[in-house]
Amino acid sequence: MTHWFHRNPLKATAPVSFNYYEIVTGPTASKICSDLRSSRARLLELFTDLSCNPETMKSAADAYFSLLQGFINSLDGSSQESKLRYVQNFKWTDTLQGQVPSAQQDAVFELVSMGFNVALWYTKYASRLAGKENITEEEAKEVHRSLKIAAGIFKHLKESHIPKLITPAEKGRDLEARLIDAYIVQCQAEAQEVTIARAIELKHAPGLIAALAYETANFYQKADHTLSSLEPAYSAKWRKYLLLKMCFYTAYAYCYHGQTLLASDKCGEAIRSLQEAEKLYAKAEALCKEYGETKGPGPTAKPSGHLFFRKLGSLVKNTLEKCQRENGFIYFQKIPTEAPQLELKANYGLVEPVPFEFPPTSAHWTPEALAAFDLTKRPKDDGTKAKPEEAVKPMKEPDVRPQKDTGCSVS
């Protein structure tokens, strides 16, 4: 079963040369600077390389982060910070706020910003894979795994590294708690979509599918609520996506709950549940149109034309007609005026983020290598500080054409 996911743009960054001619006093320090420069450039290239897979991404990210750790942590494992933490200014844009970057002279800012992009890459990799027309079981597992990894990275950044920033994240910026939370919950919800598709394919009990769909709808509602206090100018499109998915999966829940009720000979209640599913599906369809018309970061798409969307519409229609036929021939039950309350709890299939840790400091960081950085030779008039308002070139993300019959483009 194909899936469609909304994606915000990658963060963009200014180039960093890691050239410290004044303070570097030995070949070991020069080698570390050279490796930092090349491993950072390599990682940035991979973000937009369609041939990149999770193994390649992890290897490249570990190579850069293990070297960057020497700019952040002391080599003796104590809580003391590295003397190099504040020697370099880093500039990063945000996924929602265009190309005006934030700048901080702090290696922790670089760590969390690049880590954020790695998490975004996993979500985009999952999105590309999930949009294939004939996705295999192994590919579905890869989608599921990638989304859980992304959620784990976002969670780790929020809990362990963003609090260490000297300058707190500005409101509405990527590193602010509301946005990080929304990304975490969205990853969990999308991974559960894969679980639901698998449960349907294996013909699991309708009660389990209804419960999973209901929990997934709640995840989307939670993510939307998290973004509700953000400026609509840059959050509106993302929120339309979250709302349409919430309606869509609530419709799924009512549809499969109706099947459970029918199997229990509660045909009148089943019809009412299916009527509610029909109403929510229509609402989701209207939100699909609004999503396509809303300006803001994210892909141009027509989700209502996507296979995953159309399949639910047919299922709701056919199941409702079946219930109505059986009520007319067999049950003759009264249809309640109120929709049944969904108090469904899934005991299986709920998604938790995969725990994430940055790699340890590279073995290249020896006491001798660190000593070869002599900060006393640093010029007093340090020109490394850049103007935050300078524009940074956006990432040139590949234009991924939709697969046949998917009706959308996935970034």
Within this chain, domains 1-203+357-378 and 206-347 share the same CATH topology? yes
What is the number of other CB atoms lying within 10 angstroms of the CB of residue 168? 11
Q: Global pTM?
A: 0.91
The class of domain 1-203+357-378 in CATH terms is mainly alpha
At 408 the pLDDT is: 36
User: How many angstroms separate the Cα of 406 from the Cα of each of 10, 14, 127, 143, 212?
Assistant: 23, 36, 13, 17, 24
Q: What is the 3-state secondary structure (H, E, C) of 202-246?
A: CCCCHHHHHHHHHHHHHHHHHHHHHHCCCCHHHHHHHHHHHHHHH
pLDDT of 294 reads 87
The tokens of 73 are what? 């942590």
Q: What is the pLDDT of residue 395?
A: 87
| Cβ–Cβ < 8 Å for 210, 253 | yes
Q: What is the DSSP letter of 92?
A: E
CB 255 within 8 A of CB 319: yes
Q: For the domain made up of 206-347, give the CATH fold.
A: 1.25.40
φ, ψ for residue 48, nearest 5 deg: -115, 15
Backbone angles phi, psi at 398, to 5 degrees: -65, 145
Q: How far apart are the first and last CA of the chain?
A: 19
Give the start-to-end residue ranges of the domains of the chain. 1-203+357-378, 206-347
* HSE-CB of 220 using CA atoms within 13 angstroms: 27
Q: List the pLDDT tens digit at each of the 411 positions of the chain.
A: 578 899 999 999 999 999 998 899 999 999 999 999 999 999 999 999 999 999 999 999 999 999 999 999 999 877 889 999 999 999 999 999 877 899 999 999 999 999 999 999 999 999 999 988 788 899 999 999 999 999 999 999 999 999 999 999 888 899 999 999 999 999 999 999 999 999 999 999 999 999 999 999 999 999 999 999 998 888 999 999 999 999 999 999 999 999 999 888 888 899 899 999 999 999 999 998 899 888 877 766 666 556 666 777 788 888 888 878 876 677 677 877 888 888 767 666 678 999 999 999 999 999 999 999 999 988 775 545 544 455 688 888 875 443 443 433 333
Cα distances (Å, whole numbers) of residue 254 to 32, 137, 268? 58, 27, 14
Q: Give the distance from CA 23 to its chain's centroid.
A: 39
pLDDT value for 335: 78
Q: Are 364 and 234 a contacting pair, CB within 8 Å?
A: no
CA 217 centroid distance within chain: 16
Spacing of C-alpha 376 from chain mean position: 43
Q: How far apart are CA 218 and CA 117, in angstroms?
A: 26
pLDDT given at position 43:
98
